[in-house]
Amino acid sequence: MDDIPPAGELPEIVVEVAIEAGDWSSETALQALADRAVHAAVSVIGLEPDEGGAISLLFTGDAQIQVLNREWRGKDRPTNVLSFPAPEIINPGDELQPLGDIIVAHETVAREAAEEGKQFDHHLTHLIIHGFLHIMGYDHETDEEAEEMEELERKALQTLAIQDPYA
């Protein structure tokens, strides 16, 4: 198993967590899970220490994410995770720059985890990593992009002792 580099060797990524809707666990538990997931993703994509920033992570429900999915992607149905990269900052200051937003829907995540026989927290961790990779510019529109993104997800999850979600 790959080791995650110490936090001092990685860029600072601040994860701001909020719960809007859904039957989520405590904000404290979600914050810890999100911090671990993002730290694992950062460790495998090779960011430089000065490439840090802040992401917001909204935990919500299917009804709320369906509205966003319809408005931003033209798909009138709930989805598990949405990612919105922040616009590039031209003149960064001393404070951490926003990197983007990740929104996760409880009912869809829970249903998928049950249907796929996965632990809820493991599936949620995977989706946070997936969303973070989108924020950092990774995509899966082509087969090559999908292979690269899935490999990074596998590596990040492996550092957390979570099984390959694509196996």
Provide the residue ranges of all domains of the chain, joining segments of one domain with +.
7-159
CATH topology assigned to domain 7-159: Collagenase (Catalytic Domain) (3.40.390)
**Rounded-to-integer distance, Cα 31 and Cα 38, Å:** 10
Q: What is the pLDDT of residues 11-67, one digit of tens each?
A: 788 999 999 998 999 999 999 999 999 999 999 998 777 778 899 999 999 999 999
Q: What is the pLDDT of residues 111-160, one digit of tens each?
A: 999 999 999 999 999 999 999 999 999 999 889 999 999 999 999 999 99
- Report angle CA 112, 114, 120 to the nearest 5 degrees: 80
Contact assessment for residue 83 and residue 101, using Cβ atoms and an 8 Å cutoff: yes
DSSP H or E run through 123: helix 120-135
In the beta sheet, which residues pair with residue 55? Answer: 15, 100
Contact assessment for residue 154 and residue 144, using Cβ atoms and an 8 Å cutoff: no
Q: What is the pTM of this model?
A: 0.90
